[in-house]
Chains A and B, each alone.
Chain A
Amino acid sequence: MSARLPILGQEAPNHGCGSGTCGCSSEAPPVVEERLDTDVSRRQFFGLFGSLTAGVAAVASSGCGTKSAEAAEKASLDWEEYFKGNYQVMTDEEKRATVERLERRWELEHGSRVEISDQNAVPGVLYGYAFNISKCQGYMDCVDACVKENNLDRESGMQYIRIFEMDEGTMQLGDGDGRFYHEVPAAGHFYLGTQCFQCDNPPCTKVCPVGATWKEPDGIVVVDYDWCIGCRYCQAACPYWARRFNWQEPFVPEDEVNQEQHYLGNRLRKKGVMEKCTYCIQRTRKGRNPACAEACPTGARIFGNLLDPDSEIRWVLANKKVFRLKEDLGTEPKFWYFMD
């Protein structure tokens, strides 16, 4: 794990104390020396150091009145967040702790509450999707619902879903028009939607140099936004152009923020990290349909558990002519297209 430590050139947050003029002691209490005599890892050390620094800052702020207690609390949360581990290797207690920190931080910053779930994959579930290209009319209600559900950046107009207008009789996605804006459905065309296909053999996760993206047991490929370094290798590796990068700080109007969130899903991202469709992990792990499937007015989107032999998606796989995109790559997408 030591190889994955963040670069430690950064100083502890300055809380306005330590100048000596306010009467607070800026010397570290003796407990640090005691702890340093024992064998501690770098991470433990900085964790301890951080909490002590934050503690001193809190005392200083309450004593000096220069900074509010809330600012000190936020600094403490920031510090602990900075030295937390990769979500993949966190225990359930650590997951809960980081989620509670993030919720509290949001509250301190915005004055509103969000609910961030750390719900694990449901055993016995492997999510799959089927898209009926005979039914889709190109209305793009799914795209709109996805943007709102997943707190996507409104300023850059980020969208996880692309709908391609295709000439009837063709199957070359490269010839499809993903930029159409006219009355739909247009005569002589059909519509084909793409998003992350949650590949069972995903190339994107293999190229990540820091282990910030992986496939969950229920088949959803996720990103730890707090571990991603923004190198965009995964974006290059995805043969379906399914990953998105935050070139700027994502902006979502305060009153449009979806407060039902998941750590691996639609919680607010930051500048410089990757994100992608998670089949609405914050909804689907509660048994709900993804926002795109719920919004579709034509019933072209079918979502369900591939491990349930009685599910709708299994019926489609067994009874309809299905295909996937770029099957020859061996990526094994869990997203099938079919026709009536």
Chain B
Amino acid sequence: MIRRSLLLLLPVLLFSGCHGPSHHGVRERIDHEQSPDQVEISGVEYWLDGLRYEPYGEGDFFVRTRSDQLVQFPCARCHDQPGFAASRTDGDLPESAHLQILQPHGVAEGLACAHCHDGEDPSQLVGQKGPVDFDRVYDLCGTCHFEQRRDWEAGAHGKRLATWSGPRVIENCTGCHDPHAPRFETRLPTTMYPGSEGARR
């Protein structure tokens, strides 16, 4: 009788324990448990309050607008002379309004102001296919940086704002990069490891 019950137990012992995550990788678990149904978290839109954004392409996601963040605009307020020269260079202006434009990106590669700005009105962006809205500046940047644009559309480049669920709102190119000096600046870290050299100083 004991032997028979042990025999009955055998398959249980053989096939048990294969269901825990310890026996499969998390990638297999994801494949097994994934669902195309979007998870809905009530009230998630609350965290997007105050952000201005507009739909991208067919509206799968949203891009933060840029025009409402421009502070030195329109450009022709100062750059009112041919060749983007400014007639007002004195006390009317903060002296270092945008000194970074003295060394705009791409100059070494042959880029000039007029590659992105309209020659007549610098406040108007132009790409190879015509005028580009400041809110859709990705069309302009993406002309050269097409790999970054692909990653940005998919989510591997750039930054999603506020939430991981609900409407996907992402930062525009110029939300993170200064269009005239797109490389991130060199600076001291915001904080430090408590035992670091900086902390002891």
- Spot the interface stretch: A41-49, A87-95, A303-311: A303-311
Q: Which residue of B lies closest to A162 (CB)?
A: B193
- Interface positions, chain B 187-201, Cβ under 8 Å from A, are 187-199
CB distance from B108 to the nearest CB of A (A): 19
A297 at the interface (CB under 8 A from B): yes
- Provide the residues of chain B in CB contact with A185, threshold 8 Å: 184, 186
Q: Which segment of B34-42, B75-83, B99-107 sits at the interface? A: B34-42
A287:B165 contact, CB within 8 angstroms: yes
The 0/1 profile, CB within 8 Å of B marked 1, for residues 299-322 of chain A is 100111111111111111101100
- Which of A140, A310, A334 contacts B26 (CB under 8 A)? A334
* A287 in contact with B41 (CB, 8 Å): yes
B interface residues with partner A (beta carbon < 8 Å): 21-22, 25-27, 29-30, 33-39, 41, 43-44, 47, 147, 151, 154-160, 162-166, 168, 171, 176, 184, 186-199
A86 within 8 A of B: no
Q: Smallest Cβ distance from A193 to chain B, in angstroms?
A: 12
Which residues of A are found within 8 Å of B166, using beta-carbon distances? 287
Neighbouring B residues of A303 by C-beta, 8 Å: 164
Question: Which of B21, B43, B176, B192 counts the most chain A CB atoms within 10 A?
Answer: B192
- Are B189 and A200 interface neighbours, CB within 8 A? no
Task: Report how many A-B pairs have Cβ atoms within 8 Å.
Answer: 159
Question: Does A110 sit at the interface, judged by CB under 8 A?
Answer: no
CB of A181 within 8 A of CB of B156, answer: no
Q: How large is the interface on A (under 10, 10 to 19, 20 to 34, 35 or more residues)?
A: 35 or more
Which of B21, B164, B176 contacts A201 (CB under 8 A)?
Answer: B21
B24 to chain A, nearest CB (A): 9
What 1/0 flags go to A328-340 for Cβ under 8 Å of B? 0010101000101
Q: Which residues of A contact B191 (CB under 8 A)?
A: 140, 143-144, 147, 159
Q: Cβ of B164 and Cβ of A289 under 8 Å apart?
A: yes
Q: A157-B194, A286-B44 are in contact. Are A184 and B189 (CB under 8 A)?
A: yes
**Residues from chain B with Cβ under 8 Å of A178 in the complex:** 193
Nearest residue in A to B168 (C-beta to C-beta)? A312
The secondary-structure label for the interface of chain A is loop
Return 10 A-B CB contacts under 8 Å, by A number: A126-B30, A140-B191, A179-B193, A185-B184, A286-B44, A288-B163, A293-B160, A302-B156, A311-B155, A312-B155
| A125 contacts the other chain (CB 8 A) | yes
In the bound complex, residues from chain A placing their C-beta under 8 Å from that of B38 are: 308, 310
- Chain B CB within 8 A of A132 CB: yes
Give the distance in Å from the alpha carbon of A320 to the alpha carbon of B158 in the complex: 15
Contacting residue for A299 out of B35, B157, B189, CB 8 A: B157
Q: Which of A37-63 contact B (CB under 8 A)?
A: none
- Minimum CB–CB distance from B173 to chain A (whole Å) comes to 11
> Given A132-B156, A184-B187, A316-B156 in contact, is the A330-B22 Cβ separation under 8 Å?
yes
Residues of chain A within 8 A (CB-CB) of B43 are: 286-287
Check B41 against A289 for contact (C-beta < 8 Å): no
Of the residues B21, B162, B188, B197, contact of A184 by C-beta under 8 Å:
B188
- What's the minimum C-beta distance from B128 to chain A, rounded to whole angstroms? 25
Smallest CB–CB gap between B124 and chain A, Å? 28
Whole-angstrom distance between the Cβ of A173 and the nearest chain B Cβ = 15
How far apart sit A201 and B171, CA to CA, in the bound complex (Å)? 35
From B155, B163, B184, give the contact of A137 (CB < 8 A): B184
- A140, B43: Cα distance in complex, Å: 30
Rounded to whole angstroms, the CA-CA distance of A332 and B20 in the bound complex is 13
